[in-house]
Amino acid sequence: MSENITIVFELSAEFNDQALSEYMSKAKEGKPTGKYEKRIWTINGLTIKQYDQKLVVQGTLNDFTRGFLRSLRTVKGLALDRKNALQFASIFPWKQNVMLCPECGGTFLCVQGEIEGLDMVFRRECGHKNGLAPPVMMLSNRILPDINVLVSKCLSRLVELGYFNGFEVVFPEFILDVVDQFKGSGKKNSVSEELDILRTLERGGKIKINNLSTLPIKVDLGNLGDEDKVILGLAQLTNSVLVTSDKNMRDRALIQERPTVYISASDFGRLKMIREVRGP
């Protein structure tokens, strides 16, 4: 079933009708029918209506409309409030290390520098200006579960319950060998089962698995040192949020200033029960 969307852009003082007209040159312009409508266009399942202070985009969500909306957002003078920025962000795949607009909550990858009078301004893709003063807020949706979390199947249960939806899970190809060395073959089988469940969740669009196949990482299985060091090293290398049930691991991660989600191992049994009670 096709998904319908409605995005409302605010027209700021910098908005220019000519710039919008040029962007809409490939769309079909129709005759306004509403009392307050100034102009109206249609293109590939989208209807765009211009009012005095806003531009409303409605229609069916598909690959074309995603591209159209992403490009439309760059038209000068179009801005999104927080509600519409979050709606806008939700129609695009999750990204890693995107920047966050503190004014509307929207995410963006590019800041465009422009001369205005005797000053340089930096404009985000959402339309808001940025003085490029610190801090620059960035988002990460990448997590790295430690071995205990994988063995317990805690992560897959949390995803099935609706948590970590849209996150990227770092699960390197060599992790099974690491588990085998530190935990033994029995735990390795449990992690392998967890990987199968996570892959099923990935196919369902719940998460994305990153096996680090594109990174030139070499692991000397004969000289791994301790388990915590391996996992923390991966978290730092991949800029991941660590998910752990080990207090010592948590404390070591925080000393290294690594963002961490801590879930007590004592809650694993109750989490399993909750998953079973709530069902599919």
Tens digit of each residue's pLDDT (9 = 90 or more) over 42-85: 999 899 999 999 999 999 888 888 888 888 887 888 888 888 88
Cα–Cα distance for residue pair 225/229, rounded to 1 Å: 7
Model confidence at 147, in pLDDT bands (50, 70, 90)?
confident
Rounded mean pLDDT of 83-101? 76
For position 93, what pLDDT does the model report?
A: 65
- Eight-class DSSP state of 220: -
Cα–Cα distance for residue pair 94/169, rounded to 1 Å: 12
For position 96, what pLDDT does the model report?
A: 65
For position 225, what pLDDT does the model report?
A: 58
Mean pLDDT score of the chain, rounded to an integer? 83
CA 9 to chain CA mean position, Å: 22
H or E element, residue 90? helix 82-90
- DSSP for 50-74 reads E-SSEEEEEEEESHHHHHHHHHHTT
Q: Which of 117, 120, 97, 122 is nearest to 107 (CA)?
A: 97
Q: Please, which residues bridge with residue 130 across strands? A: 122
Query: What three-state secondary structure class fits 7?
Result: strand
For position 216, what pLDDT does the model report?
A: 60
Phi, psi of 111 (to 5 degrees): -115, 125
For position 102, what pLDDT does the model report?
A: 76
Is the per-residue pLDDT at 127 higher than 90? Answer: no
Rounded mean pLDDT of 127-141? 73
110 vs 277 pLDDT, higher one: 277
For position 4, what pLDDT does the model report?
A: 87
Tell me the percentage of the chain whose pLDDT exceeds 70.
88
Cα–Cα distance for residue pair 2/129, rounded to 1 Å: 34
Query: CB 122: neighbour CB atoms within 10 A?
Result: 13
Q: Which of 96-100, 225-229, 261-265 has the highest mean pLDDT?
A: 261-265
Q: What is the pTM of this model?
A: 0.64
For position 174, what pLDDT does the model report?
A: 76
Rounded mean pLDDT of 231-250? 89
Q: Which of 115, 119, 99, 117 is nearest to 107 (CA)?
A: 99
Cα–Cα distance for residue pair 187/253, rounded to 1 Å: 23
Is the per-residue pLDDT at 156 higher than 80? Answer: yes
For position 43, what pLDDT does the model report?
A: 92
Cα–Cα distance for residue pair 9/11, rounded to 1 Å: 6
Q: Which of 110, 125, 120, 183 is nearest to 150 (CA)?
A: 183
Query: What three-state secondary structure class fits 151?
Result: helix
What contacts 212, CB < 8 A, 6 or more positions away?
170, 172, 173, 238
Tell me the percentage of the chain whose pLDDT exceeds 90.
27
Q: Which of 102, 106, 116 is nearest to 73 (CA)?
A: 106
For position 159, what pLDDT does the model report?
A: 92
Is the per-residue pLDDT at 223 higher than 60? Answer: no
H or E element, residue 248? helix 247-255
For position 220, what pLDDT does the model report?
A: 55
Q: Which of 1-10, 163-172, 174-183 has the highest mean pLDDT?
A: 163-172
> What are the structure tokens assigned to 162, written together?
């609706």
Model confidence at 41, in pLDDT bands (50, 70, 90)?
very high
ω into residue 259 within 30 of 0, thus cis? no
The answer to whether residues 61 and 72 touch, using CB atoms and an 8 Å cutoff, is no
